Structure 1
Amino acid sequence: MRIRGVAQAREWGAAHPGAVDAGLALLVQAAVTMPFVVPRPPELEPATWPAYGLTTLTVLPLVWRRRAPMAVLLAVLAASALYQLTMDGPGQPLPYQGLVCVHTIAALAPAWQRAVTAGLLLVAVPVSVWLNTRSARELTFSLFVFGAAYVFGRLTDARQRAHLVESERAAARERARIAREMHDILSHAVSLMIVQAEAGPVAVRKAPERAEAAFDAISATGRDAMDQLRRMLGVLRDDDTGGGRSPQPDLGELPALLDRVRAGGLAVRYEPAAGPAALPAALAATVYRIVQEALTNTVRHSGARSATVRIERAAGRLTVLVRDDGRGPATGAGRPAGHGLAGIKERAAAHGGSARVGPGPDGRGFEVLVALPVQDAVEAGR
């Protein structure tokens, strides 16, 4: 819960940088006000309003620290020098304004501005110490705190760059996931519709009742594809507005998928896993898509008359087998098999599993064999 709150705070800060800078300026103002409200020793002059006003003037530029960090640093240094030369006001335990400027330049500014800042500090810090206490202790401490501010600024820059790279990688993974989902949906639906459409004219001449069933199957397949695409587009819209993902297909929808394939003329035998134990939603969706893509390849490429879908679960492992009696995907003569089989392997690897595709037993037919660790998936889904 705390991690989520921190992430939300960072997102809010990234979306409202002006508000963050104003809040930081107010925080620094509160810090520099402390020496003015704490009573001074009797031998010292009381704090005055002009001194406090000039102190506030050293804080005000921090509101623009992101837009012009070098200009803000120069303004802070000038106002601070004016305060030390003209006012006998309270000192500050830390140079808060300068530290904020140095951290900002180290995190956001280009290399030449960082180099200029280092040169300015090597001059300004010794001069400030000479005007104040002229002690080696203060000089050492001042150089240390400014150096620490610079180092933390560079670390902030490195963390932001790493976060940006990770965000780009996450976006690439999401694009690949969406591409796989759309490929599976469209490839499966269009393949079945083509098979039914090609068989339709023959059925009209020889068996009108089968032609009607073929047209019904085309309509049902098209409606199912539209429903899945509509659901996916809804996911994209929800993700854009922070709504989250809608439910993915699971094993309960697998019999309906097999019925649509059977309506296309392929005899499919289904052997589900024994036992009532349910799978995590992400793993169940993966199994559904693997079976869908394997059968799509069978319908499109193999010329098979029958296929078997078998799901077994034992010893912390889920095995998915799709085997047909056809000739397998046509990859010769410069014709690629497409992205389907590669997508199956990617889906299996995403869950820590493996996939093997190739000829069936004794070189007959074609099979897709996927092994997925069930226990790891269950723990990940909790």
Structure 2
Amino acid sequence: MLLVQGATTIPFVVPRDPVESPASWPAYLLTTLINVPLVWRRRAPVPVMFGVIAAGSAYRLALDGPGQPLPYAALIAVYTIALICSPRVRLVMWVVVTVAIVGSVALNTTTVKELLFALFVFGAAVALGRLQATRQAYTAAVEDRAAQLERANRIEAEQAAARERARIAREMHDILSHAVSIMIVQAEAGPVAVRGAPARAEAAFEAIADTGREAMAQLRTMLGVLRTEEVAQPRAPQPGIGELPALLDRVRTGGPRVSYERSGEVRELPAALEATVHRVVQEALTNVVRHAGASVVDVRLDYGPRELTVTVTDDGRGPGGERVREPAGGHGLIGIRERAAAHGGTAWTGPGPDGRGFSVRVVLVASPQEVGS
């Protein structure tokens, strides 16, 4: 509004030809009155436009003051309507402005040149208003899209963090549950063996120490991954199918007899899938040691064209006996199902063959395409 006031003041302060209309204070005050409604142009654009036209008409008819090169206030009022008003309001505005232009030209020069120039100038104001409206709509759409992407990225990061926490919880559960179960079995067998078989007792205590050291090493590896402030250090790979014999040996020491068999086309699998196989067998054996009271355990891997089936069967207390498969608050079998689902597979638990013992059967997707990836 101040810029418009400055522009309309120029004809009143520059030197004028004596034959032209004089620059009087009443004319200047009425010129200022034309600009005042622009203060409310965004809150009430249509009334402002009619106020500007009415004040301009009063100036033209009542006073013979200095003319303006352009109708600044009217152009800004038209621009504002084109910017923020609906199509219907813009149409009515253009009809009113056209009538006002024709009337103004009729009172002034009555020439086609002035008429065309006035229509062109006001048309340009309308076009600029629509271009600015399009630009603002585009900017708002870009900002909204950026906000949606930010929200989506934040949600994805939170979901990734939740998945990582669940994975770490499963790993720590498997490591600690298995190690503690083996150590408890060996510790319970040690005092009995001391009296009758010192060599066996020594082997039991060595197994306890070895199990504890291995558990500590795996925990250090996992906790080291969480220390993001430290410089990344080389980490030992996750245990795979190749480490299963060592796992079974630890269970055999002072525990049940464990057999291990592989069938089908034995082949190398992705590291993540092999780690899942190792953890599934580890958790199943942990349950056997803790709850089954079994004397024989059979671990079997069946390699199919697109699937790998892991079966762990024992001859201990089955689901119908006194055996408690998952104590209150336990997550072992849940973890097995989650690991299977992560590889597009399924997990089943229930009675063993002929209804005796207990069996854990996990089917994992291990297609050639996955192996080659």
What TM-score do the two structures reach when normalised by structure 1? 0.63
Q: How far is the alpha carbon of 1:316 from its aligned partner? A: 0.8
| Equivalent residue letter for 1:258 | L
Distance 1:255 1:377, change over 3 A: farther
Q: How far is the alpha carbon of 1:162 from its aligned partner? A: 1.2
Q: How far is the alpha carbon of 1:315 from its aligned partner? A: 2.4
Distance 1:254 1:168, change over 3 A: same
Q: Is the 8 A contact 2:261 2:299 kept in 1?
A: yes
Q: Which residue of 2 aligns with 1:126?
A: 79
Given the alignment of the two structures, is residue 216 of structure 1 paired with residue 206 of structure 2, yes or no? yes
Q: Is the 8 A contact 1:239 1:245 kept in 2?
A: no
| 2:367 alignment partner, SS class | helix
Q: Which of 310, 317, 337 pairs up with 1:327?
A: 317
**Cα distance between partner residues in 2 of 1:308 and 1:341:** 18
**Cα distance between partner residues in 1 of 2:234 and 2:164:** 13
| 1:369 alignment partner, SS class | strand
Q: Which residue of 2 aligns with 1:339?
A: 331
Q: Which residue of 1 aligns with 2:341?
A: 349
Larger radius of gyration: 2
Q: How far is the alpha carbon of 1:272 from its aligned partner? A: 2.3
**Cα distance between partner residues in 2 of 1:291 and 1:125:** 78
Given the alignment of the two structures, is residue 374 of structure 1 paired with residue 327 of structure 2, yes or no? no
Q: Which runs of 4+ in 1 moved over 4 A?
A: 81-86, 122-125, 127-134, 238-246, 328-335
What TM-score do the two structures reach when normalised by structure 2? 0.65
Number of aligned residues: 270
Deviations 1:301-335 (A, max 9, x none): 00001101000111211000000000147676994
**Cα distance between partner residues in 2 of 1:128 and 1:154:** 25
**Cα distance between partner residues in 1 of 2:268 and 2:127:** 68
Q: Which residue of 1 aligns with 2:128?
A: 138
| 2:211 alignment partner, SS class | helix
**Cα distance between partner residues in 2 of 1:354 and 1:270:** 22
1:188-199 correspondence to structure 2 within 5 Å: 188-199=178-189
Q: Which of 163, 169, 184 pairs up with 2:159?
A: 169
Distance 1:167 1:83, change over 3 A: farther
| Equivalent residue letter for 2:346 | S
Deviations 1:106-157 (A, max 9, x none): xxxxxxxxxxxxx78x999935999998521111111011111011111111
Distance 1:147 1:200, change over 3 A: same
Deviations 1:160-218 (A, max 9, x none): 11111111111000000000000000000000000010111111112111111110110
**Cα distance between partner residues in 2 of 1:299 and 1:257:** 13
| 1:327 alignment partner, SS class | coil
Identify which range, 146-155 or 343-352, moves more after superposition: 146-155
Structure 1: 5+ residue stretches without partners: 1-77, 87-118
**Cα distance between partner residues in 2 of 1:353 and 1:85:** 78
Distance 1:311 1:335, change over 3 A: closer
**Cα distance between partner residues in 2 of 1:125 and 1:207:** 105
**Cα distance between partner residues in 1 of 2:78 and 2:243:** 71
**Cα distance between partner residues in 1 of 2:178 and 2:325:** 24
Q: How far is the alpha carbon of 1:288 from its aligned partner? A: 0.3
**Cα distance between partner residues in 1 of 2:5 and 2:341:** 65
Q: Is the 8 A contact 1:188 1:292 kept in 2?
A: yes
**Cα distance between partner residues in 2 of 1:245 and 1:357:** 34
Distance 1:333 1:224, change over 3 A: closer
Q: Which of 140, 143, 146 pairs up with 1:156?
A: 146
Given the alignment of the two structures, is residue 252 of structure 1 paired with residue 252 of structure 2, yes or no? no
| 1:343 alignment partner, SS class | helix
Distance 1:290 1:332, change over 3 A: closer
Q: How far is the alpha carbon of 1:377 from its aligned partner? A: 7.2
| Equivalent residue letter for 1:305 | S
**Cα distance between partner residues in 1 of 2:140 and 2:189:** 73
Deviations 1:317-364 (A, max 9, x none): 100000000014767699437110110000000000000011111210
Q: Which residue of 2 aligns with 1:362?
A: 354
**Cα distance between partner residues in 1 of 2:229 and 2:364:** 28
| Equivalent residue letter for 1:126 | Y
**Cα distance between partner residues in 2 of 1:174 and 1:270:** 32
| 1:135 alignment partner, SS class | helix
**Cα distance between partner residues in 1 of 2:325 and 2:273:** 36
Q: Which residue of 2 aligns with 1:43?
A: none
Q: Is the 8 A contact 1:192 1:221 kept in 2?
A: yes
Q: Which residue of 2 aligns with 1:200?
A: 190
| Equivalent residue letter for 1:188 | H
Q: How far is the alpha carbon of 1:273 from its aligned partner? A: 4.0
The share of aligned pairs that are identical, in percent, is 55
**Cα distance between partner residues in 1 of 2:174 and 2:222:** 12
| 1:272 alignment partner, SS class | strand
Given the alignment of the two structures, is residue 293 of structure 1 paired with residue 283 of structure 2, yes or no? yes
Distance 1:247 1:377, change over 3 A: farther
1:37-48 correspondence to structure 2 within 5 Å: none
Distance 1:240 1:366, change over 3 A: farther
| 1:165 alignment partner, SS class | helix
RMSD over aligned CA atoms reads 3.4
| 2:316 alignment partner, SS class | coil
Q: Which residue of 2 aligns with 1:67?
A: none
Q: Is the 8 A contact 2:305 2:368 kept in 1?
A: no
Distance 1:137 1:227, change over 3 A: same
